[in-house]
Amino acid sequence: MHASIASPCLLVACLIGIVGMSGCNKPSAASANTSPERPLHRTTVSALGRVTPGKGVIAISGPVGERLRTVLVEVGQKVHADEQLAETVGEEALATQLSIAREKLDQANQLLSAEKEYGAALVKQAELGIQRAADVPPLQIDAQQAEINVVQVQLNQAQRDLERIEKIPTSTAERDRLKDLIDRYQEQLRGQRAKLRMLEKEQDLGKQGAQNDLESAKAGAKKAQEAIDVEVAQRGVTLAEIELERASIVSPIEGTVLEVLSQPGELIGTQHPILTLGQTDKMYVVAEVYEADISRVRIGQKAVIKGDALQKELSGVVEQIAPIVKRNQISALDPTARSDARVIEVRIRLDDSAAAAKVIGLQVDVTIDTPPADTAAASK
């Protein structure tokens, strides 16, 4: 009996309670007319980044398959460009080959110089022969011509005497004497003229012979010099220098040794560098900015860098914005964070390189001060 009466009453009470609760949740007219606050513009861009040297971490290797003899540097050591960092076993043999090639080049140059001097001496001697051929015979020819002239004068005088005697009566003996004298002078002239022709021929032959000697001396000198192939010796030196340079392990930059990864006796491979270098006097942070935020990032904007291993916040300036969109390489520790986001790398030059040089590769949080989105869009 009591149960049947209580049930309707309980139902009414529940309905009244529900209606009362609905009335409490209904907003008032004043609150309904009040507009919500407009969200503020974002003035920063946040991103993950990593600490890196100026030109990145440079892996130094050597000729593949060579055995490492010794490493000449240690971690933290400052090195100069072209400074030798390590030596290989084969480098000593290549240095010896270069030394031998240089000796051969020196010998070739010395021999060539000697041949040039000898050839010049032969040419000079031949030239003197031409000079002698041109100077000495003319003296003999001139002397011979003078003798001919004397005999010719004597012959002319004898002929005039004979003509004068024949015009007047005289003895036959005198005419015969003059005729004999004329015959002797004529014979002498024939002999002297024959000798003159012989001297002139000897002069021509002497000149030609001396000229032939000169040409022969020049040709011989040229042939002897061509036989000494200095160019081949020079190419040998150049090749040996290239081989030694390829085997030499030197620093490509002025920087600091970050890691030594190989030990003497190990074989040099393609996947395992000997050591790493970096320009620690110019430290950067490479921030991975989401592509949706990159439009608000500008060169010259200031940035703040935080990290667990940093003793203090670091500051820097945006120096470069990459033109390539890629997948992110840095992942947040939050397991719900995106691992395949599309980002653009932004290089930030740090103001304090010394502090960052101690934590190369550290993952950091980057905050870039940017203008409001509307302002950035308007500036475009």
At 8-40, the pLDDT tens digits run 433 333 333 433 444 334 333 333 333 344 445
CA 308 vs. chain centroid, Å, equals: 44
**240 within domain boundaries:** no
- pLDDT (0 to 100) of residue 338: 60
Residue with tokens 């000593």: 92
Shared domain for 83 and 101, answered yes or no, is no
Which of residues 182, 200, 235 is at a domain's end? 235
Shared domain for 126 and 72, answered yes or no, is no
Predicted confidence (pLDDT) at residue 373 exceeds the cutoff of 70:
no
195 CB-contact burial (10 Å; exposed 0-12 / middle 13-18 / buried 19+): middle
Across residues 318-339, what is the average pLDDT? Answer: 81
pLDDT bucket at 335, cuts 50 / 70 / 90: low
245 CB-contact burial (10 Å; exposed 0-12 / middle 13-18 / buried 19+): exposed
- The torsion angle over the Cα atoms of residues 321, 325, 331 and 335, rounded to 10 degrees, is 130
Percentage of the chain beyond pLDDT 90 is 37
Helices (H), ranges, the chain: 2-25, 29-33, 89-167, 172-227, 230-247, 353-356, 373-379
Count structural domains, the chain. 3
CATH of residue 298's domain is 2.40.30.170
pLDDT bucket at 262, cuts 50 / 70 / 90: very high
Across residues 90-94, what is the average pLDDT? Answer: 85
pLDDT bucket at 121, cuts 50 / 70 / 90: confident
**39 within domain boundaries:** no
pTM (two decimals): 0.56
Shared domain for 162 and 264, answered yes or no, is no
Shared domain for 101 and 222, answered yes or no, is yes
CATH of residue 112's domain is 1.10.287
Shared domain for 146 and 217, answered yes or no, is yes
The pair of structure tokens assigned to 251 is 């620093």
Shared domain for 123 and 206, answered yes or no, is yes
Percentage of the chain beyond pLDDT 70 is 77
Shared domain for 139 and 198, answered yes or no, is yes
Shared domain for 231 and 121, answered yes or no, is yes
When computed from its CA atoms, the radius of gyration of the chain, rounded to whole angstroms, is 55
**249 within domain boundaries:** no
CB hemisphere CA count around 273 (13 angstroms): 14
- pLDDT (0 to 100) of residue 134: 65
Determine the Cα–Cα distance for residues 370 and 174; give it in Å rounded to an integer.
Answer: 144
Give whole-number Cα distances, 170 to 157, 160, 165, in Å.
18, 15, 7
Determine the Cα–Cα distance for residues 83 and 95; give it in Å rounded to an integer.
Answer: 17
Average pLDDT, the chain: 80
Q: Print the domain residue range for 139.
A: 93-235
pLDDT bucket at 129, cuts 50 / 70 / 90: confident
Determine the Cα–Cα distance for residues 173 and 176; give it in Å rounded to an integer.
Answer: 5
Do 180 and 211 meet the contact criterion of CB atoms below 8 Å apart? no
Shared domain for 364 and 329, answered yes or no, is yes
Across residues 293-307, what is the average pLDDT? Answer: 95
- pLDDT (0 to 100) of residue 203: 67
pLDDT digits (tens, 9 = 90+) for 104-113: 889 888 887 8
Shared domain for 258 and 346, answered yes or no, is yes
